[in-house]
Amino acid sequence: MRARADILRFAAVWIASLLSGVGSSLTGFVLGVWVYQVTGSPTQFALVMLCGLLPGILIGPFAGIVVDRFDRRRVLIVTDCLAALPTLAIVFLIQGDRLAVWHLYLASAITAACGTFHATTYQAMTPLLIPKRHLGRANGLMQITWATQIAAPVLAGTLLVAVGTAGVLVVDLATFAVAVLTLLLVRLPAAVLRPAGTAGAPDLRTDLVVGWRYLRRRPQLLGLVFVQTGFNFVFATAGVLVQPLILSFATADVLGVLMLAGGAGMFCGSLLMGVWGGPKGRVRGMAVLMAAGGVALFLHTLRPSPLLVGVAAAAFLFTLPVVGGCAQAVMQTKIEREVLGRVLGTAHSLGTAATPVAYLLAAPVAEFVTGPLLMPGGGLAGSFGPLIGVGEGRGIAFVLLLDAVLLAALAAITAFTPGLRRLETTLPDAVPDDAPDDAPAPVPAP
């Protein structure tokens, strides 16, 4: 009965998180449209994206400290309320015709910081609500939020026409309210809200390095985090280039359809993880799915075909929640409860550190380096031209080809590095399968 009640609690919190995530993605889309319509500058749009990314990377270790040291329900409620404030401010600025681009820089930064607290809290609470054998399923369900965000532009476009930018933001505020109300109503066990072993006086300097020291003393886990860093770099590179690739040979309407196809692929991958829970050997499963993702990325590059790219995008994004869900389940299984927030916060910062690098490098390299090399008569036209073609957009395809090779190499490293391959058997679980719900977690090594 206790396990069933905890699963129902998780389901309620998950649904609230899903609604809030969808609302935030709607806001992100319509504000991105506003920036581009007002400025006509891709650089301004990219800066808004970076402002929505960098704070989350920098604040990860601090989020972990808060998650381990304070009541997690309060952390979620406070961060949800703080994240809603910029959205509310933008509504008033729009109504007063005073909205400027720099307002969105600030709003994106605040929302990103709150989102890091939010995600770290959920990840730390999940293994305390869900039995270990179901962690893969739980993490798969949590990633449905990301799938719905990819497909959100379809709904956002409809809402934008029907209720305008301010109306979409009001919908987002309503989803925040639902999430906060759910957290207030759902009764969560005390051990979920604040784990045992963290009652001592906090020491900021010590707490900031707890996560890094923990990972460094467990090189298998640190290696897994670096694999996630590489995977995020690959995914970010593909994410920033696939839309320009499609627009090089298709219309904006076709782009919308292909984005929906990609979102559907990711949704199916998340749903599969939610039902299946992932392979028994999670690290091995990650390697197989990364290799499959590399093949799907390679298919993007072969020819400028909407059908081919649509199928390849759905296949590539299908692998994302399976890889991410498996990695998250391994971390949650192997890390002791009383340091889980701090370690996951550090892992988040390390895992996403390469994403802004991908954003800053991928497009300029495709535009100014590989683009000219794959125009007719260019330096790569004779060697790679027969494989991926020459002309507009083929420089982007070449960078995606390199991205596919990098992902395949990452899969090989994961599969054949002994420490990673044997991680699940050589590193003991933090809590055994047969531990009662209120059993104390093992004390981690200093």
Residues 309 and 424 in one domain: yes
pTM: predicted TM-score of the whole model, two decimal places = 0.83
Total domains in the chain come to 2
Residues 161 and 217 in one domain: no
Cβ atoms of 147 and 138 within 8 Å: the answer is no
What per-residue confidence (pLDDT) applies to 15?
A: 81
Residues 183 and 248 in one domain: no
Residues 244 and 375 in one domain: yes
Residues 143 and 266 in one domain: no
Query: Does residue 437 belong to any structural domain of this protein?
Result: no
Domain stops at, among 157, 187, 217:
187
Residues with Cβ within 8 Å of 201's Cβ and at least 6 positions away in sequence, in order, are: none
How many angstroms separate the CA atoms of 422 and 25, rounded?
38
Query: Does residue 442 belong to any structural domain of this protein?
Result: no
Kindly state the tokens that stand for 175.
Answer: 């989803």
| Integer CA distances (angstroms), 187 to 11, 192, 215, 338, 350, in order | 12, 10, 33, 21, 33
What per-residue confidence (pLDDT) applies to 123?
A: 87
What per-residue confidence (pLDDT) applies to 175?
A: 87
Residues 126 and 255 in one domain: no
Residues 82 and 225 in one domain: no
What per-residue confidence (pLDDT) applies to 445?
A: 44
Domain stops at, among 187, 220, 244:
187
Query: Does residue 171 belong to any structural domain of this protein?
Result: yes
Residues 165 and 221 in one domain: no
Residue 382 CA to its chain's centroid (Å): 38
What per-residue confidence (pLDDT) applies to 40?
A: 65
Residues 162 and 219 in one domain: no
What per-residue confidence (pLDDT) applies to 146?
A: 67
Range of the domain at 318: 208-429
Query: Does residue 443 belong to any structural domain of this protein?
Result: no
How many angstroms separate the CA atoms of 42 and 363, rounded?
11
Domain stops at, among 156, 187, 218:
187
Cβ atoms of 166 and 26 within 8 Å: the answer is no
Query: Does residue 435 belong to any structural domain of this protein?
Result: no
Dihedral, CA atoms, 64, 65, 68, 74, nearest 10 degrees? Answer: -90
Query: Does residue 182 belong to any structural domain of this protein?
Result: yes
Helices assigned H by DSSP within 353-391: 355-364, 371-373, 385-388
Residues 178 and 57 in one domain: yes
How many angstroms separate the CA atoms of 415 and 285, rounded?
9
Q: What is the CATH number of the domain that holds 262?
A: 1.20.1250.20
Residues 237 and 176 in one domain: no
The tens-digit pLDDT sequence of the chain (446 residues) is 566 777 788 888 888 777 777 787 778 777 777 876 787 665 676 677 778 888 888 899 999 999 998 899 999 999 989 989 999 999 999 989 898 988 988 998 898 898 899 889 988 888 888 888 888 888 887 777 666 666 666 667 677 777 888 888 898 899 889 889 998 888 888 888 876 655 555 677 788 899 999 999 999 999 999 999 999 999 999 988 888 898 889 887 787 788 888 888 988 998 898 889 889 899 999 999 999 999 999 999 999 999 999 999 999 999 999 999 999 999 999 999 889 999 999 999 999 999 989 988 888 898 889 999 999 999 999 999 999 999 989 999 999 999 999 999 999 999 999 999 999 999 999 865 544 344 444 444 44
Query: Does residue 201 belong to any structural domain of this protein?
Result: no
| Integer CA distances (angstroms), 305 to 204, 253, 317, 353, in order | 54, 15, 18, 33
How many angstroms separate the CA atoms of 167 and 91, rounded?
8
Residues 77 and 107 in one domain: yes
Query: Does residue 160 belong to any structural domain of this protein?
Result: yes
